[in-house]
Amino acid sequence: MQITRPTIATSRGPSDWFTGEVHIDPIADPAGESGFAAALVHFTPGARTAWHTHPRGQTIFVTEGVGLCQREGGAVEVIRPGDRVFFEPGESHWHGAAPERFMAHVAMHQTDASGSAVTWGRPVSDDEYHAARASD
């Protein structure tokens, strides 16, 4: 058994990759032969990732609040605590908080052979963010 106390400071999500205020706590970092990485991510109301892809896919598990996510070409979906979302490898998507709610999720993904776990694209525009939702 190995316990790691939370000595790593929470970091702010960089504005190149996130719109609004996002806070990231690392859970697991790639080590040795494992490219597995995980983080707890808190989004303030209205905050979201930019469009991006993961070379080996990603699972997010919502732990708090109300969130939104969308894959390119799909509808904006509402996600709530207990919901689990898998984004396919290479599938362009974004995830974040609802406009008037906080949202927290655990994000889990793997690095590729080059050590990359994500490729970032353009920000999610306000029009995209506020588009009609598939469910509420």
Planar angle of CA 21, 24, 36, nearest 5 degrees = 140
Residue with the closest Cβ to Mn ion? 58
Q: Which is nearer to Mn ion, 4 or 77 (CB)?
A: 77
Spatial distance between the Cα atoms of 111 and 107, rounded to a whole number of angstroms:
13
For Mn ion, which is the closer residue by CB, 58 or 111? 58
Nearest-CA neighbor of 101 among 53, 136, 61?
A: 136
Q: Least separation, in Å, of the C-beta of 105 and Mn ion?
A: 10
C-beta closer to Mn ion: residue 6 or 85:
85
Q: Does 58 bind Mn ion (CB under 5 A)?
A: yes
Tell whether residue 53 is a contact of Mn ion (CB under 5 A).
Answer: no
What is the closest distance, in whole angstroms, from the C-beta atom of residue 35 to Mn ion in the complex? 15
